[in-house]
Amino acid sequence: MSETIDEDLRAQVKDLVVLASGGAISVDELESADGSLEEVGVNSITYINLMEALEQTMGVVIDPEEDPEYLTSVDSIAAFVEAQRRIPPTTVS
């Protein structure tokens, strides 16, 4: 999965995680933990901030109850965003 992810998108997701954590988590920590959110100690407040940021900056909604596997790592989030962007917009006539 990780080979196909755009590096810019991956970097954007890392920045969002750092922002959502209020600066507690660093990009270096994310990289040394292979992007695992659990490994870097993402807590429920950071998850909430991250979900909100993903929705407002990238227009994607990840529901951790419905799609828990997408909210586990930088790569899984980036893959989800890419997949959402490939879905053509619905046209209402």
Partner 1 sequence: MTSTAPPGVSEAFLDACQQHRQRTAVVSQGGDRFTYGSLADRVRARADAIDSLMAPEVRRVGLYGENSVEYLVSYYATVHSGRVPFLVDPQFGGQELAEIRSGCGVRTFLVHREVASRFPLPVRARRVSGTDLSVFSLQRDEGVAPLPISESTATCRFTSGTTGKPKCLEFSHHSVLRAARSWAAGTGVDGGDRTLCLAGFSNGLAFNTSLLPTFLVGAQLHLARGLPSSSKIRQAIRRRGITRLIAFPLVYRLISDDPAACVDDYKSLSIGISAGAVLAPVVRRACTRRLGVWIADYYGIAEAGPCTFETESDWNEGLGKPLPGVSIRLNPRVDGQAEVCVKTDSMATRYLNLPGLFEESLDGDGYYRTGDIGYLQGGRLFLTGRSGGAINVGGRKIDPLEVEQVALSIPGVEDAVVFADQDSNDMAALHLVVAGPERISRLEIVRSCAGQLSEYKIPAHVTWLPRMPRSAAGKVSVARLRELIASTKSLQH
Which of 52, 69, 83, 85 is close enough to bind partner 1 by CB under 8 A?
52
Residue linked to tokens 């810019």: 8
User: Is the CB of residue 57 less than 8 Å from the CB of residue 17?
Assistant: no
Rule CB under 8 A: choose which of 11, 63, 83, 85 binds partner 1.
63
Closer residue to partner 1, CB minimum distance, 6 or 57: 57
The residue type at 91: T
* Binding residue count for partner 1, defined by CB under 8 A: 27
Least distance to partner 1, CB of residue 45, Å? 5
Question: CA 72 → CA 10, 33, 34, 55, 92, distances in Å?
Answer: 14, 12, 11, 16, 34
How far, in Å, CA of 23 to CA of 4, rounded?
Answer: 28
Residue numbers at the binding site for partner 1 (CB under 8 A)? 19, 21-24, 29, 32-33, 38-41, 43-49, 51-52, 55-56, 61, 63-65
